[in-house]
A = this chain, B = another copy of it.
Amino acid sequence: MFKINENYLKLPGSYLFSTIGKKVAAYTAAHPEKNIIRLGIGDVTQPLAPAIIDAMHKAVDEMGVKETFHGYAPDLGYEFLRAAIAKNDYADRGCDISADEIFVSDGAKCDSGNIQEIFSLDNRIAVCDPVYPVYVDTNVMAGRTGNYNPQTEQFENVIYMPCVAENNFAPELPKETPDIIYLCFPNNPTGSTITKAQLQEWVDFANKVGAVIIYDAAYEAYISEEDVPHTIYECEGARTCAIELKSFSKNAGFTGTRLGYTVVPKDLKCKDVSLHSLWARRHGTKYNGAPYIIQRAGEAVYSDEGKVQLKAQVAYYMNNAKVIYEGLKSAGYTVSGGVNAPYIWLKTPDKMTSWEFFDYLLEKANVVGTPGSGFGPHGEGYFRLTAFGTYENTVAAVERMKAL
Top-4 shortest CB links A-B = A1-B210, A113-B286, A3-B120, A2-B179
Chain B residues contacting A273 (CB-CB under 8 Å) are 4, 9
Task: For A70, give the chain B residue with the smallest CB separation.
Answer: B256
- Encoded as 1 (CB less than 8 Å from any B CB) or 0, chain A from 57 to 78 comes to 1001101111001111101000
Query: Can you list 13 A-B pairs, Cβ within 8 angstroms, ordered by A?
Result: A2-B180, A8-B282, A11-B281, A48-B69, A60-B60, A71-B253, A71-B255, A107-B288, A109-B287, A113-B285, A134-B286, A256-B289, A293-B294
The reply to whether A63 and B47 contact each other, CB–CB distance below 8 Å, is: yes
Are the CB atoms of B8 and A281 closer together than 8 Å?
yes
Nearest-neighbor residue (CB-CB) of A108 within chain B = B288
**Given contacts A43-B72, A285-B134, A4 and B290 within 8 Å (CB-CB):** no
Query: In the complex, what distance in Å separates the CA atom of A133 from the CA atom of B210?
Result: 34
Neighbouring B residues of A253 by C-beta, 8 Å: 69, 71
A46-B69, A106-B106 as given contacts; A119 in contact with B258, CB under 8 Å: no
From the candidates B180, B288, B293, name the one contacting A109 in the complex (CB within 8 A): B288
Q: Which one of B46, B210, B286 contacts A110 once the chains associate, using CB atoms below 8 Å?
A: B286
- A285 CB to closest chain B CB (Å) equals 5
* Minimum CB–CB distance for A272 against chain B, Å: 11
A303 within 8 Å of B by Cβ? no
Fill in one digit per residue for A172-186: 1 if any B CB lies within 8 Å of its CB, else 0.
000000011000000
Return the chain B residue nearest A50 by Cβ.
B64
- A118 in contact with B5 (CB, 8 Å): yes
Bound Cα distance A137, B286 (Å): 9
Chain B residues with Cβ under 8 A from A286's Cβ?
A: 109-110, 113-114, 134, 138
Q: Do the beta carbons of B61 and A293 come within 8 Å of each other?
A: no
Which residues does chain B contribute within 8 Å of A110, judged by CB atoms? 286-288
Q: Counting CB contacts under 8 A, is A270 at the interface? A: yes
Given A114-B286, A288-B107, A291-B258 in contact, is the A278-B14 Cβ separation under 8 Å? no
Within 8 A of B (CB), among A93-140: 106-107, 109-110, 113-114, 117-123, 133-134, 137-138
Kindly state whether residue A6 has any CB partner on chain B within 8 Å. Answer: yes
Asked, given contacts A48-B63, A123-B2, A179-B3, whether A291 binds B118 with beta carbons under 8 Å apart, the answer is no
**Chain B min CB distance to A143 (Å):** 8
Q: Which of B4, B138, B141 contacts A275 (CB 8 A)?
A: B4
Known: A119-B5, A288-B110. A53 touches B63 (CB 8 A): yes
Chain A residues 224 to 269 lying within 8 A of chain B, measured CB to CB, are 253, 255-258
A109-B287, A137-B285, A291-B257 known; A72+B119 contact, CB < 8 A? no
When distances are taken between beta carbons in the complex, the residues of chain B under 8 Å from A321 are: none
Q: Give the docked Cα–Cα distance between A390 and B230 (Å).
A: 47
Chain B residues closer than 8 Å to A275, beta-carbon distance: 4
Interface flag for A334 (CB, 8 Å): no
User: A residues bordering B, Cβ < 8 Å?
Assistant: 1-6, 8-9, 11, 14-15, 18, 41, 43-48, 50, 52-53, 56-57, 60-61, 63-66, 69-73, 75, 106-107, 109-110, 113-114, 117-123, 133-134, 137-138, 141, 143, 179-180, 209-212, 253, 255-258, 270, 273, 275, 278, 281-282, 284-294, 390
Question: Which residues of B have CB within 8 Å of A281?
Answer: 8, 11, 14-15, 141
User: Other CB < 8 Å A-B pairs besides A63-B256, A63-B257, 17 of them?
Assistant: A2-B179, A2-B210, A2-B270, A3-B119, A4-B273, A4-B275, A4-B278, A5-B118, A45-B71, A46-B66, A50-B64, A52-B64, A56-B63, A69-B256, A72-B255, A106-B106, A114-B286
CB distance from A51 to the nearest CB of B (A): 10
Do A14 and B270 have beta carbons less than 8 Å apart?
A: no
Inter-chain CA distance A286–B294, complex, in Å, is 20
For the complex, give the distance between the alpha carbons of A60 and B54 in Å.
Answer: 9
